[in-house]
Amino acid sequence: MASTPYDILIIGGGPGGYVAAIRAAQLGSKTAVVEREHLGGICLNWGCIPTKALLRSAEIYHYAQHPEAYGLKIEGKVSFDPAAVVKRSRGVSAQLNGGVAFLLKKNKVDVIWGEATISKVGEVTVGASSKPVVQPQNPVPKGVLGAGTYQAKHIIVSTGARPRVLPGIEPDGKLIWTYFEAMVPTTFPKSLIVMGSGAIGIEFASFYATMGCEVTVVEVLPQIMPVEDAEIAAIARKRFEKQGIKIMTSTKVVKVEKGANDVTCTVEDDKGVKQSLRAERMISAVGVVCNTENLGLEKIGVKLDRGAVVTDGHGRTNVPGVYAIGDVAGPPMLAHKAEHEGVICVETIKGLHTHPMEKTMIPGCTYCHPQVASVGLTEAKAKEAGYTLKVGRFPFVGNGKAIALGEPDGLVKTIFDAKTGKLLGAHMVGAEVTELIQGYVIAMNCETTEEELMHTVFPHPTLSEMMHEAVLDAYGRVIHS
């Protein structure tokens, strides 16, 4: 048992939890994090970071296969070592995992290992973890706190989410994978069915296709990447199909049969036509489910909605002294949303002046090839909201840096309110757009108008010049198109 009560105790050491803990410690709070498995959460250990390491290996492999496009020669056949690709990815996670532990220790945040239950408001009981407490490639930390009862003035729930499982299509870790198994294959399959075309599904489809796998993506909705602007998603689809990825939209998986070494999926389109697909492996990427079970939330009366904890824009639940941040508090389920939400929540607890989370200003990034990035309203959503629009577009083929990079395919799209010049949304597909989108995010947060963006000087030659041109195009002033 803790000798003195904590000011703030956080359940879950993922991006939201550990960032909230560090901010709380910076503001002078006695702080603890309860973690049952590994610091950094899904993002650092099994999501954002290791998948980017895999995708980087795929990107290098792609370029090595096409050296002639850059006036280069590579003698002999280009190949890859599956075990080495996975090892590099896990090594990147391990390095950053250790970094989180260091940051918590540096900020004097206590780490309590085990599974937490809120026994009553202001009290958390921690029991032994049902999962192995193992840091990737690191030993279990010594000298940390464990099972016991801990008092806390404020309790923040940051327990994240897990892959959604559809009835009859339960992943088995062998033939049917979630993103856990997809990141650590012992061998790469020659054929793959990906069920779901959100960010997770598309990133894995892109990775495995680049590594030589025959990939089929099955999406129940009419559009791949359903949260993205339809025009951007259509461009991305054409690029994926050009790379050899087969895409089936308005199609659902109705049955899965496992063989000795493969799976057979029966799929049905929106006209009722069925067909069979066979592949060595299948990835189920149909969303995630909030981790709200066995936390004692119902016992103390915390309100839930469709499995997510209901909060206001500051992380407060309906029960005083209990808060929720990150995936467990609902969409968008993104690490950077969780981190920012954690800071807002802690600063609210400490009485600082805070602004509520504005979800329309949270950027989304998908690290496939080509990359996709966006912020704000899509064109369709902006029209639904009743805005009169000015829409600007600029193609990658009109940008000198894109051509020099050998990446002439892509588009930057901007959406403005015609009456006020307010930037409502920005959407991109193409090389490095995940690094570009933040410029528009800053513009939206600063309530920048089209006039200010037009007067901004963008460096040449850069991909960012397309951001300027897309604004100019919305107002009939584009220069290079």
- Region class of 41: left (phi > 0), else alpha (psi between -120 and 50), else beta: left
Residue 193 CA: distances (Å) to CA of 59, 247, 262, 279, 334 = 21, 10, 11, 6, 25
Phi, psi of 107 (to 5 degrees): -90, 10
Could you tell me the two tokens for 306?
A: 């469709």
- Does the CA dihedral 149-150-156-160 come out positive or negative? negative
66 is annotated as an active-site residue: no
DSSP secondary structure of 293-337: TTSSHHHHT--EETTEEP--TTSB-SSTTEEE-GGGG-SS--HHH
Output the CA angle 399-400-402, nearest 5 degrees.
70
Phi, psi of 293 (to 5 degrees): -75, 150
Question: Across-strand partners of 123?
Answer: 120, 151
| Catalytic annotation, pick one of 154, 336, 455, 460 | 460
Burial of residue 229 (CB within 10 Å: 0-12, 13-18, 19+) is buried
Amino acid at 76: G
**Which of these, 481, 364, 475, lies nearest to 426 by C-alpha position?**
364
State the Cα–Cα distance between residues 335 and 327, nearest whole angstrom: 8
State the Cα–Cα distance between residues 37 and 12, nearest whole angstrom: 9
**Which of these, 411, 9, 480, 452, lies nearest to 237 by C-alpha position?**
411
Q: What is the largest CA-CA distance in the chain?
A: 68
> In 232-252, which positions are buried (b, 16+ CB within 10 angstroms) versus exposed (e)?
bbebbbebbeebebebbbebb
* DSSP H or E segment with residue 57: helix 48-65
State the Cα–Cα distance between residues 111 and 9, nearest whole angstrom: 10
State the CB neighbour count (10 A cutoff) for residue 103. 16
Indicate which residues carry an active-site annotation: 460
